[in-house]
Amino acid sequence: MYRFARDRRACPAAFYPIDFRAVLRLMKLDRFIRIAIGVLLALVFVIAIAALVFITESALNVWARLLEGPRWLLYGYVMIMASLVVIAIWLVIRLVVRRKPRREAATPKPMSREDIERRLADADRAGVEVAAAQSELRELAARQASGTVHLCFFGEISTGKSSLIKALVPEAEVRIDAVGGSTREIRHYRWRDAEGAGLLLTDVPGTAGTDPALDRVAAEEARRAHVVLFVSDGDLTRAEKDALRWLLDLGKPVILVMNKSDRYTAAEQALLMQRLIDHLMDLGGAVDRDRVVAVSAGGETEVIEQREGGETRTRRRRPADIGVLVVAINRLVERGVVELDARRDRAVFQLAAEKLAEAEARYRQQRSEQIVRSATRKAVIGSLAAVSPGTDVIIQGYIATTMTKELCGLYDVAPRDLDVEEFLSLSQSRVGRALPLALAVAGNALKAFPGLGTVAGGLVHAVAYGLIFDALGRSLTQTLTRYGELDPALAAREFEENIGEHIEAGVRKVAEMALEQESGSGRGD
């Protein structure tokens, strides 16, 4: 009853003996199964035909009775049945078909005080640090109470902002240095316009310096001001055009000031002024010629004098030429402080909202790390309790589902259960390819701990489980942060493309987790 292959290399499987009795038994069993399936199919067809006949008969009886009855009953019955069909179809579509969530408009509506205060209250209850945003609202309230118009001198370093303030307020102790970037903090100076109204001139650090933090200080103060005096010393650079576009997008009233005009001839000045107006038009700003001015802050210059005894070097003060700037400021303020207040308030509300968004992002990052760490620890504990080599971490579906829903809730995303299941299913198909990498990394990581001795297989699998769970949580967090929604395909692709990087990033943390749990279990025994 045995047969052997003549050539083992040609057919290795044929080398083993074949039991023909066993084969006959299997054939009989296969025939029985096929007959049973055939009988079952015949029975299903009979039941389906009988059900169809019954339903048809019932429908015809109902329809005949409806035709015999009043018309309102017929029409009402048809409307009810049609409504039920539509509702059933709608429910099926809602359950099965995944639709893209609606995205917010690209241009958000202006913030109001009610909007930002409501967001602050919600964030504070959630545990978000809201001090920075609240500080902006307190500063705004103080400025509103004072009723003073704030003018911010904004621009790159060495454009002469401090010198212009000195020319407007000669008695002020304005720090002026030949070295660019001498202003390192916000300074305010009192000045009165032609009507005698008090204005506050604000000197801010110049942008494009060596300290990026000062750029942010200057930008925030520009948003708190009523009017921004954008100071340049010639044609605008690319960075200056970007900054001017940003200010115009905020709705800030801007006076474009070309300082150091005494360095140019009249023809050169005319050409530069036209260039500045063209820039404003290209950026979509309001082109009022009285808001584009050429001035000279004056200052000192070195002069060589010829005398009988030879040459002498002396320093002479150049007179300031800022009359057109004073006129531009007065005209802008005369047009209405109420409108300036409204624009300033909207800009500050938006600034407070952005600081709140930054605080929310930090809170979400910290909280997401806690959620992922908790899920990873549960995965490690579950693996140590019952290790099944070759299985992957997504089998622990409850932990993965809970982690996914908690992260989505943290980012104000409300996915359907089908979206969560699809994401975990897509991720599971990718885990099989990543498991060998996770096992290798886990083994190497555990060997790095002194005094551990031989690494047990169960401990290695537990660390591998934890690494994949940690990578899954990190990938989902990045997807939610970037897109603001749970797109199963995008999230699974993010998981697949970055799983190696995430595994390397979390290896020591997860290994320490597993060792703590293992040592705790050993002490308990």
The mean pLDDT value for 17-24 works out to: 45
Q: What distance in Å separates the CA atoms of residue 7 and residue 359, rounded to the nearest whole number? A: 74
The runs of H, that is alpha helices, within 69-96 are: 71-96
State how far the Cα of 98 lies from the Cα of 488, in Å rounded to an integer: 10
Give mean pLDDT, residues 483-495: 87
Query: What's residue 224's pLDDT?
Result: 94
For residues 257 and 245, the answer to whether their CB atoms sit within 8 Å is no
**Is residue 227 classed as helix, strand or coil in its secondary structure?**
strand
pLDDT, one tens digit per residue, over 70-116 is 888 888 888 888 888 888 888 777 666 555 544 444 445 677 888 89
Residues in the chain: 525
Q: Is the pLDDT of residue 54 over 50?
A: yes
Task: Give me the residue label for tokens 């001839």.
Answer: 265
**What radius of gyration, in Å, describes the C-alpha atoms of the chain?**
38
Neighbours of 189 (CB within 10 A): 20
Strand partners, 310: 307
Residue 255 burial by Cβ neighbours in a 10 Å radius (0-12, 13-18, 19+): buried
- pLDDT one-digit tens code per residue, 129-138: 999 999 999 9
Percent of the chain residues topping a pLDDT of 70: 76
CA separation for the pair 82, 74 (Å, rounded):
12
Task: For 186-220, write each residue's pLDDT tens digit.
Answer: 888 988 765 666 789 999 998 887 888 899 999 99
Q: How much of the chain is helix, strand and coil, in % rounded to 5?
A: 65, 10, 25
Tell me the average pLDDT across 140-145.
Answer: 93
CATH class (in words) of the domain with range 130-335? alpha beta
Q: Which two tokens stand for residue 163?
A: 């010198």
Query: Where exactly are the structural domains of the chain?
Result: 12-96, 130-335, 356-524
For 39, the enclosing helix (H) or strand (E) is helix 20-68
Give helix then strand counts, H and E, for the chain.
Answer: 14, 8
pLDDT averaged over every residue in the chain: 79
Contact partners, residue 461, CB within 8 Å, separation at least 6:
383, 387, 389, 439, 442
Instruction: Calculate mean pLDDT across residues 368-378.
Output: 90
What is the biggest distance separating any 2 CA atoms in the chain, rounded to whole angstroms?
134
Is the pLDDT reported for residue 370 higher than 90? yes
- Residue 180 has a pLDDT of 47
pLDDT of 38 reads 79
Q: C-alpha angle 101/107/108, rounded to 5°?
A: 80
- Which pLDDT belongs to residue 23? 43
487: which residues sit within 8 A by CB, 6+ positions away? 479
Other Cβ atoms less than 10 A from the Cβ of 331: the count is 14
The 3 state secondary structure assigned to 253-317 is CEEEEECCHHHCCHHHHHHHHHHHHHHHHHHCCCCCHHHEEECECCEEEEEEEEECCEEEEEEEE
Q: How confident is the model at residue 321, as a pLDDT?
A: 86
CA 455 to chain centre: 41
Among 449, 198, 417, 192, residue whose Cα is nearest residue 326:
192
Q: What is the pLDDT of residue 178?
A: 43
Return the residue matching tokens 């001139």.
Answer: 201
Q: Which of 23-32, 135-144, 431-440 has the lowest mean pLDDT?
A: 23-32
Q: Is the pLDDT of residue 2 over 90?
A: no
List, in sequence order, every residue forming a beta bridge with 317; answer none if it has no partner. Answer: 300
Count Cβ atoms within 10 A of the Cβ of residue 169 and give its class: 0-12 exposed, 13-18 middle, 19 or more buried: middle
What residues form DSSP beta bridges with 207?
Answer: 156
Residue 350 is predicted with a pLDDT of 92
Out of 49-53, 170-174, 509-513, pick the least confident. 170-174
| Global pTM value | 0.69
The residues near 89 (Cβ < 8 Å, ≥ 6 apart) are: none
Strands 292-294 and 227-232: unpaired
What letter does residue 453 receive in the DSSP assignment? -
Residue with the larger pLDDT of the pair 403 and 308: 403
Do 335 and 100 contact (CB within 8 A), yes or no? no
Copy the structure tokens of residue 442. Answer: 């886990």
What integer pLDDT is reported at residue 510 of this predicted model? 80
Q: What is the pLDDT of residue 365?
A: 92
